[in-house]
Amino acid sequence: MIKIQRQVILAPYTTLKIGGPARYFTVVKNLRELKESISWAKENKKEIFILGGGSNILLAKPWPGLVIKNEITGSEIIKETKKSVWYQAYSGENWQKFVEDSVRRHLYGLENLASIYGSVGAAPVQNIGAYGAELKDVFVSLEALNLKTGRSKIFKASDCHFAYRDSVFKKSLRGKYFIYRVTVKLSKEPRLNLSYGGIKEILLAKKIKTPTPKQIALAVTELRASKLPIPAILPNAGSFFKNPEVSEKEFKKLQKRWPEIKFFSGSKPNLIKIPAAWLIEQAGFKGRRYGAVGMYEKQALILVNYGGASAAQVLAQIKRVIKGVKTRFGLTLEPEVNIIPPLK
């Protein structure tokens, strides 16, 4: 029988250390408890919010319904061929542990996504990505339960509508499903992605010419540690804004005015992606504090809680940064972090 708690403060369950009370709260560790929780919410007419690792969210208001804390963990190989492995994990599994398990098995595909905070279940919602790789590159399918009916459904890659830090679970299916488990296809043969963000330089400095998945993952971890704050030390929700994409025509106008503007290829051939960190820095926000909040001194894309920040202060900072970039560059930044309720 599940245990329903009342008025549970959610801040300790998030990496940003912000979050008011949930009117009802329960922890699930298996499928039976999950189904019982969904049934309880239906019987009591309470809206459900799923809480995983708490690494990519801002809980801006108290939750009036039921918060289900996902602690359904575990992973296993479910299929194997001479060249590939189908690797499955339950949604409450720690993402970094999932990556570590895969590289320890000498499997290629997740190594560039090392040291990303959060759970496996959050990965497809966000289509997490880093250093030239995204989850969609290895994604096979996921199983999810409808939060109204409790019925299970399989979503293939085409069903998820993956895009840059986006999926159907952030749009039309937002808040409608509990992602139960995720399957990825990994390679036994080398499939190296070393061209992005200095990975190759670190490996060459260590005289590693043919890196293993573990060596690549360690290089990525080293890179991230050099410029990203550890949430346990300095609370944050990871990269806070998406990198905006513009047409080639629009980019040329921007480049004419700012020749030093940073850029790289967009998600489509006719689009150019501009680093949000560069825009935020140029707008004067990098390392600048506004009370208990600010953009991190080593990486302008990270909004940090210096201690005791409120949701209202964070929301004010988000709007301040969006306005500042819009005023200077005419570009509108979009939050990457899942804001509950959504920013208006």
Written as tens digits, the pLDDT of the chain (344 aa) is 899 999 999 999 999 999 999 999 999 999 999 999 999 999 999 999 999 999 999 999 999 999 999 999 999 999 999 999 999 999 999 999 999 999 999 999 999 999 999 999 999 999 999 998 999 999 999 999 999 999 999 999 999 999 989 999 999 999 999 999 999 999 999 989 898 768 999 999 999 989 999 999 999 999 999 989 999 999 999 999 999 999 999 999 999 999 999 998 888 889 999 999 999 999 999 999 999 999 999 999 999 999 999 999 999 999 999 999 999 999 999 999 999 988 77
What whole-number distance in Å separates Cα of residue 303 and Cα of residue 318? Answer: 8
Q: Which residues contact 111 (CB under 8 A, 6 or more apart)?
A: 99, 102, 103, 213, 214, 216, 217, 220
Please classify residue 105 by burial: count the beta carbons closer than 10 Å to its beta carbon, then call 0-12 exposed, 13-18 middle and 19+ buried.
middle
CB neighbours of residue 219 within 10 Å: 26
Closest by Cα among 57, 67, 53, 140 to 97: 53
Under DSSP, the state recorded for 119 is B
* Catalytic positions, written as ranges: 165, 239, 336
Q: Which residues contact 96 (CB under 8 A, 6 or more apart)?
A: 114, 115, 116, 117
What whole-number distance in Å separates Cα of residue 134 and Cα of residue 128? Answer: 6
Closest by Cα among 336, 110, 96, 115 to 223: 115
Domain coordinates in residue numbering, the chain: 5-70, 75-227, 236-340
pLDDT at 266: 84
What whole-number distance in Å separates Cα of residue 139 and Cα of residue 109? Answer: 10
What whole-number distance in Å separates Cα of residue 91 and Cα of residue 89? Answer: 6
Domain formed by 75-227, architecture = 2-Layer Sandwich (3.30)
Closest by Cα among 88, 209, 201, 211 to 154: 88
CB neighbours of residue 312 within 10 Å: 10
| Region 236-340: CATH code | 3.90.78.10
* Partner residues linked to 305 by β-bridges: 293
Q: Is pTM beyond 0.85 here? A: yes
pLDDT at 196: 78
Single-letter amino acid, residue 64: P
3-class state of residue 315 by DSSP: helix
pLDDT at 260: 96
Query: In degrees to the nearest 10, what's the CA dihedral of 320, 321, 323, 329?
Result: 160
pLDDT at 269: 87
CB neighbours of residue 327 within 10 Å: 9
User: What strands, in cross-sheet order, belong to the sheet with 75-80?
Assistant: 75-80, 84-90, 177-187, 139-146, 152-156
What whole-number distance in Å separates Cα of residue 237 and Cα of residue 214? Answer: 25
What whole-number distance in Å separates Cα of residue 284 and Cα of residue 25? Answer: 40
pLDDT at 328: 97
Distances (CA, A) of 268 to 138, 193, 219, 248, 271: 19, 19, 28, 11, 5
> Looking at domain 5-70, which of 3.40.50.800, 3.30.70.270, 2.40.50.140, 3.30.43.10 is its CATH number?
3.30.43.10
